[in-house]
Amino acid sequence: MADLKSIDVDDIVACAAAALARASGRTVALSDVQTVSGEERRNFIARARATYDDGDARSVIVKMTRAPSYDAADDKALASSGLVREWTATAYIAAHAPGRGHGAALLAGDVARGLVVFADLGADLRSLDRVLLEGTAAEAEQALARYATALGRLHADTAACADAHHATFEAIFGGGRPRRPPGWRVEEDAAAVVRLIGGAPPASELAFLSSLLADPGAWQCLTHGDPCPDNALLVDDGIRLIDYEFARPAHALLDGIYWRIGFPTCWCAGRVPDEVARRVDAVYRAEIARAIPPARDDDAYRTEIAYVATIWLFTCLSWRLDEALKDDTHWGIWSVRGRLLWYLDFVIAMTAAANVLPGIDACAQGWLAQLRRRWPDATPLGRYPAFAWNGG
């Protein structure tokens, strides 16, 4: 693609070998290089065999950004570069939660070139999306429980990580970087929606949600940011999360709501039956409660889930409503219109159950009624095939 850097595989391999040599203090040769990324991908990704001068060998994953704008010295590098976020997150995890099975081990990197090398978890691993799309209900629930365990362990192991995370970033990419406020302005997402379909929510409720993003309090941890089923690999008896390009210190439930809300950033979106979701919630809460005590309280958890669901609603509407009003396009395995109808339904149910955000709830009900009239043939997001035996 014209907006991506061209690929010179030999040069990338040489750069990766040099990075591994610097990190290990040994001479390293890479062989059996297999490119696993497509031409359109924003990162070059390859699998290779790394052989050290003492005879040790291992399979590795080489990843290099193709973004022309990549600049490690830019004050906005952490905000603008997925590779910078992934390197920072995985380095933080290696230092603060070693041996806990959080993703693939970071082996080496080259700051100037925007390249990282990870240990290879394996070429033939099954991912969560395959289980949800092709497995049985029992297999899917078991895999979701392992996924919830992995997310909960990540969140508990990295609770209150903001300062250490920024220190890790500066240690790798250079000091003196300004600390940028976390989160984003929900008001901006809401304004984009109101311009399209009207019905302005109360400013006070929007401001409250923005304040929750800026200061999650006890819920603050390192979030994965894109914990999609295809970023969750089944390894031994657990799940390893990969691709930390959106990882950042944030509210834990921005990740922890994924199976409830239908995996909103994923091509393989789908719903999980309520009874299964409750059991998966219990697994997740047991993990995060080790470091985030409010997760033990049913009322506190219900309320926090409602707030985060509402944040996701505005995010998804601001991303997709404009195109959905023009045409019912498909994104992955479901239509965009169907996704948006489900998010509205879900948030209305969550805010009602928690008895919070009445103004936003009223707006959401109005938006849902309006969109149902406009889109009479749209089918709200349905269950994953693994759970289709039970209807829905």
According to the 3-state scheme, what is the secondary structure of 299-348?
Answer: HHHHHHHHHHHHHHHHHHHHHHHHHHHHCCCEECCEEHHHHHHHHHHHHH
Where does residue 295 rank: exposed (0-12), middle (13-18), buried (19+ CB within 10 A)? buried
User: Mean per-residue pLDDT for 299-303?
Assistant: 97
How would DSSP label each residue in 340-376? Answer: HHHHHHHHHHHHHHHT--HHHHHHHHHHHHHHHHH-T
185-222, pLDDT tens digit by residue?
999 999 999 999 999 999 999 999 999 999 999 999 99
125-150, pLDDT tens digit by residue?
999 999 999 999 999 999 999 999 99
In DSSP terms, 117 is beta-bridged to 62, 108
| Residue 359 belongs to a domain | yes
User: What is the rounded distance in angstroms from the CA atom of residue 129 to the CA atom of residue 273?
Assistant: 16
Around Cβ 5, how many Cβ atoms within 10 Å?
15
Quote the percentage of the chain above a pLDDT of 70.
98
136 and 55 in a single domain? The answer is no
User: What is the rounded distance in angstroms from the CA atom of residue 249 to the CA atom of residue 247?
Assistant: 7
Task: Name the strand (E) or helix (H) holding 143.
Answer: helix 137-157
Quote the percentage of the chain above a pLDDT of 90.
94
61-92, pLDDT tens digit by residue?
999 999 999 999 999 999 999 999 999 999 99
User: What is the rounded distance in angstroms from the CA atom of residue 171 to the CA atom of residue 91?
Assistant: 10
**Residue pair 105/117 in contact by the 8 Å Cβ criterion:** no
89 and 166 in a single domain? The answer is no
105 and 26 in a single domain? The answer is yes
DSSP 3-state assignment of 6? Answer: coil
| Residue 40 belongs to a domain | yes
159 vs 179, more confident: 159
- Per-residue model confidence (pLDDT) at position 388: 87
| Residue 76 belongs to a domain | yes
Q: Which residue has the tokens 């707006």?
A: 363
Q: Any idea what the CATH number is for the domain that residue 259 is in? A: 3.90.1200.10
Distance of CA 93 to the CA centre of its chain: 16
User: What is the rounded distance in angstroms from the CA atom of residue 310 to the CA atom of residue 356?
Assistant: 10
301 and 196 in a single domain? The answer is yes
Closest CA to 362 of 222, 198, 176: 198
144-163, pLDDT tens digit by residue?
999 999 999 999 999 999 99
230-289, pLDDT tens digit by residue?
999 999 989 999 999 999 999 999 999 999 999 999 999 999 999 999 999 999 999 999
**Residue pair 208/356 in contact by the 8 Å Cβ criterion:** no
213 and 361 in a single domain? The answer is yes
Buried b (16+ CB within 10 A) or exposed e, 73-82: eeeebbeebb
Among 60, 84, 119, which residue terminates a domain?
Answer: 119
| Residue 46 belongs to a domain | yes
7-24, pLDDT tens digit by residue?
899 999 999 999 999 999
103 and 218 in a single domain? The answer is no
Retrieve residue 45's tokens: 């990704």
Structural domain harbouring 375: 128-390
Beta strands at 57-65 and 220-223: parallel, antiparallel or unpaired = unpaired
pTM listed for this prediction: 0.95
| Residue 2 belongs to a domain | no
Q: Is the pLDDT of residue 2 over 80?
A: no
**Residue pair 389/137 in contact by the 8 Å Cβ criterion:** yes
Among 119, 148, 174, which residue terminates a domain?
Answer: 119
30 and 83 in a single domain? The answer is yes
Mean pLDDT, all residues of the chain: 96
